[in-house]
Amino acid sequence: MLRDMQSVEASGLGMHVGAAGTLAQPIRLLLEYTGTEYEDKLYSCGEAPDFEKSCWLDVKLKLGLDFPNLPYMIDGDVKLSQSNAIVRYIARKHNLDGKTEAEKIRIDLLENQTMDFRMGFARLAYNPDFENLKADYQKGLPGLLKQYSDFLGKRPWFAGDQITFVDFLMYEPLDAHQIFEPKCLDEFQNLKDFLTRFEALEKIAAYIKSDRFMKGPFNNRMAKWGNKKQ
């Protein structure tokens, strides 16, 4: 499932990161939070009906990646694909991967659960029958969000008292769902507070106010929802 294709070049780490749509946002946010300078580049697929992707396909096999895919990251001799692997790599450089065993257990769980959350939403967004399926998804959304609300509890961050990379992973899908269904978090004050707390972080707040910040598109042009900038 290809999305709007983007690359991020992080000069502070000697890093070149190529990413896709919504999968790029946690990487950008983490780079901003850690003060890493980078250049953001876009590879845009063509218009309907072909959605031509040669801008990515022409270079896909020339990057020296073991598993060529979006997103990817090249940091010197280190070449990675898979969004969570990239986020974990950056997090380890800045001690944002948890300190205690209890934190690491929560991080491991939420990292994978967040991907399920993201992919479930993507399946809806790309489904040709989106308009007919939307109501059922919205009906099940409160129960889904309650699980994340219960998991967060009264903690300021999902792993505990300190921010970790899973908070960057969770921010984007929660933010996207607020756009999809503006009242979806009304019953979950702690999730709303989490978004507010995250956006108030000094470097994140500055990034959001900057002309570098992109709120969407969450999906590629062939998606039925989230295929345009907000």
Asked if 73 contacts 89 with a C-beta cutoff of 8 angstroms, the reply is yes
pLDDT above 70 covers a percentage of the chain that reads 86
% of the chain at pLDDT higher than 90: 60
Q: What is the pLDDT of residues 26-77, one digit of tens each?
A: 988 999 999 987 767 666 676 777 777 787 788 889 989 999 888 787 788 8
Question: Of how many residues is the chain composed?
Answer: 230
CA angle in degrees (0–180, nearest 5) for 81-83-88: 100
Furthest C-alpha separation in the chain: 50
Q: Quick check: 207 pLDDT over 50?
A: yes
Residue 78 host element (H or E): strand 78-81
Predicted confidence at residue 224, as pLDDT, reads 83
User: In terms of pTM, does the model score above 0.85?
Assistant: yes
Please count the helices (runs of H) and the strands (runs of E) in the chain: 8, 5
Q: Render pLDDT for 108-166 as a digit per residue (tens, 0 to 9).
A: 999 999 999 999 999 999 999 999 999 999 999 999 999 999 999 999 999 999 999 99
Structure tokens at 164: 């970790």
Position 18 pLDDT exceeds 60:
no
CA 118 distance to own-chain centroid: 8
